[in-house]
Amino acid sequence: MVTPKSHTRSPLQLASLVVGLVFLLVGVLGFIPGITTGYENMRFAGHHSEAYLLGVFQVSVLHNIVHLLFGLAGVLMSRAVTTARTFLVGGGIIYLVLWLYGLFIGKESAANFVPLNTADDWLHFLLGVGMIALGLLLGRRRTGQHR
């Protein structure tokens, strides 16, 4: 009888998987009326979208698609330790850049194509810091483990 190969995920891989699944969930929820208020006023992109996930975070079709793609990347990259770390640290850096972008663009300007509001900006900051912290802290080797 052939037994299936057991695969134990490292904490780093598990973190990448969980973060990826959360992004997938957020991407799906962004397309559900009621969970997303102003759903009928959602635009493909741009600051004119008047849809708000949980009534707080401004979203558009493009914004939701980005969440879905980011989530898919997290799930797929959770398969190996090195790619899981890359997803968490690299994704965290992307979110910090997005946080800075959101702080410096005019909310009513054409440059706000995602769209981003103040709540999005600060969530992106927390996501960036949190993802980088997970990638670095969970990726450290424990001393004395390899004797």
Residue 74 forms part of a structural domain: yes
What is the pLDDT, as a whole number, of residue 1?
Answer: 53
- Confidence bin at 2 (pLDDT 50/70/90): low
Model-level pTM? 0.86
Supply the pLDDT for residue 74.
98
Residue span of the structural domain in which 56 resides: 11-36+48-137
Taking the mean position of all CA atoms in its chain, how far away is CA 5?
Answer: 30
CA distance 123 to 38: 20
Residue 42 maps to a domain: no
Q: Give the span between the Cα atoms of 141 and 76, in whole angstroms.
A: 23
**Euclidean distance between CA atoms 81 and 99, whole angstroms:** 27
On whether residue 65 sits in a domain, the answer given is yes
DSSP the chain: -PPPPP-PPPHHHHHHHHHHHHHHHHHHHTTSBTTEETGGG--SSSTT--EEETTTEEE-HHHHHHHHHHHHHHHHHTTSHHHHHHHHHHHHHHHHHHHHHHHHS-TTSTT--S---HHHHHHHHHHHHHHHHHHHHTTSPPTTS--
Question: What's the domain count of the chain?
Answer: 1
Average pLDDT over residues 113-122: 91
146 falls within a domain = no
Work out the pLDDT band at 147, boundaries 50, 70, 90.
Answer: very low
pLDDT digits (tens, 9 = 90+) for 33-74: 999 999 999 999 988 999 999 999 999 999 999 999 999 999
Residue 110 has pLDDT above 90, yes or no: no
Structural domain contains residue 43: no
